[in-house]
Amino acid sequence: MRKPFIAGNWKMNTDSHSSVSLAKAISSGTQHVAGRSVDVAVIPPFVYLQAVASALSASSIAVGAQDIYIEPKGAFTGEISAAMLKDVGCSYALCGHSERRHVIGETDEMVNKKVKAALAGGLLPILCVGELREERESDKTAEVVTRQLKNGLADLGDEKVSAITIAYEPVWAIGTGLTATPQQAQEVHSLIRELISRIYDSRLADALRIQYGGSAKPDNAAELMAQPDIDGLLVGGASLKADDFLEIIKTVV
Ligand code: 13P
């Protein structure tokens, strides 16, 4: 059985005060469930990671980074390494979030390097994949997701892939209020599991956790989580309100 995994990606939101109070509210609302019946992570902006990790140190809520750089150290102005992220208390790193792919211009090759850098630095990557609206409308969803997945996981052996979470985030559903229907999401999640089974094996595919992301909220979380291949949610907007995020977590415990 795959343990549900709910993560809140705060994106470029909160400040030094609100990041800590949000973390504390989530921690007190999940005291008896986090780490037991559900894995919970928060993914704050880099500059608040340390404060949030320290506010959560007595809890079972994990902390993740929104991005990571591909090199371990050196002259890369503005970038953050896996070792630095570990040092401030991170255990997860998002790799290839759609906003980094489509706003910043990250390529599949860069995303693959980020996955490898995270693993090499002892972090658990959350590899994000998902199609644009025009790609869905022209029936290219399977093609795009397959390409992003194969390239993102290029040259990684079984052992490495078992440490990865995949997040399927259709770009047209992110921040738009347009959630994929549970059936649309399930279809792509099952395609991802099938691909992993073909590239690796069915044991690995069965154990792999695949999150859905894109306007996940308290009123659609249960229906999404009821799908056989949806193992968790990567929540954006609704993770910024403790009550909404807690409500979402409640749907899986
Ligand atoms: P929203 O939940 O705001 O649509 O964001 C989803 C997302 O991009 C999480 O990484």
- Report the C-alpha gap between 115 and 125 in whole angstroms: 6
Please work out whether the CB of residue 192 comes within 6 Å of at least one atom of ligand 1: no
Do the domain assignments include residue 250? no
More confident call, 177 vs 83? 83
38-64: pLDDT as tens digits: 999 999 999 999 999 999 999 999 999
In contact, 170 and 130? CB cutoff 8 Å: yes
Is residue 206 predicted with pLDDT exceeding 90? yes
Would you state the pLDDT for residue 34?
Answer: 80
Is residue 32 predicted with pLDDT exceeding 90? no
Q: Residue 159 — pLDDT band, cuts 50, 70, 90?
A: confident
The alpha carbon of residue 72 and the mean position of all alpha carbons in its chain are separated, in whole angstroms, by: 22
What residues make up the domain containing 204? 5-243
Residues recognised as catalytic:
97, 169
Do the domain assignments include residue 251? no
CA of 75 to the centre of ligand 1 (A): 32
CA of 238 to the centre of ligand 1 (A): 8
Do the domain assignments include residue 102? yes
Please work out whether the CB of residue 211 comes within 6 Å of at least one atom of ligand 1: no
Please work out whether the CB of residue 218 comes within 6 Å of at least one atom of ligand 1: no
CA of 74 to the centre of ligand 1 (A): 32
Q: What is the mean pLDDT of residues 198-207?
A: 96
Name the residue at shortest CA distance from atom 7 of ligand 1: 236
User: What token pair was written down for 137?
Assistant: 């409308």
Please work out whether the CB of residue 14 comes within 6 Å of at least one atom of ligand 1: no
Q: Which atom of ligand 1 is nearest to the CA of 239?
A: 2
- Residue of 234, 239, 241 with the most ligand 1 atoms within 8 Å of its CB, for mutation: 234
Name the residue at shortest CA distance from atom 2 of ligand 1: 236
Please work out whether the CB of residue 235 comes within 6 Å of at least one atom of ligand 1: yes
- Domain tally, the chain: 1
Do the domain assignments include residue 81? yes
Would you state the pLDDT for residue 66?
Answer: 98
CA of 245 to the centre of ligand 1 (A): 12
Would you state the pLDDT for residue 1?
Answer: 82
Do the domain assignments include residue 253? no
Q: Which residue has the tokens 């209020």?
A: 177
Is residue 179 predicted with pLDDT exceeding 90? no
Please work out whether the CB of residue 213 comes within 6 Å of at least one atom of ligand 1: yes
Is residue 36 predicted with pLDDT exceeding 90? no
List alpha helices for 121-217, DSSP H.
133-137, 141-152, 158-161, 182-199, 202-207
222-249: pLDDT as tens digits: 999 999 999 999 999 999 999 999 999 9
Would you state the pLDDT for residue 177?
Answer: 85
Q: Can you give the pTM of this predicted structure? A: 0.97
Do the domain assignments include residue 193? yes
- Report the C-alpha gap between 108 and 104 in whole angstroms: 13
Is residue 35 predicted with pLDDT exceeding 90? no
- Report the C-alpha gap between 241 and 239 in whole angstroms: 5
CATH code of residue 100: 3.20.20.70
Is residue 198 predicted with pLDDT exceeding 90? yes
In contact, 99 and 78? CB cutoff 8 Å: no
Q: What is the mean pLDDT of residues 176-203?
A: 95
Please work out whether the CB of residue 169 comes within 6 Å of at least one atom of ligand 1: yes
Do the domain assignments include residue 249? no
Helical (H) or strand (E) element with 5 = strand 5-9
- Picking from 20, 29, 94, 9, the residue whose alpha carbon sits closest to that of residue 57 is 20
- Report the C-alpha gap between 221 and 218 in whole angstroms: 5
- Which residues, including other chains, have CB under 8 Å from residue 107's CB and lie 6 or more apart? 101
Helix axes 242-250, 16-29, angle to 10 degrees: 30
Would you state the pLDDT for residue 212?
Answer: 98
- Picking from 72, 69, 6, 2, the residue whose alpha carbon sits closest to that of residue 34 is 6
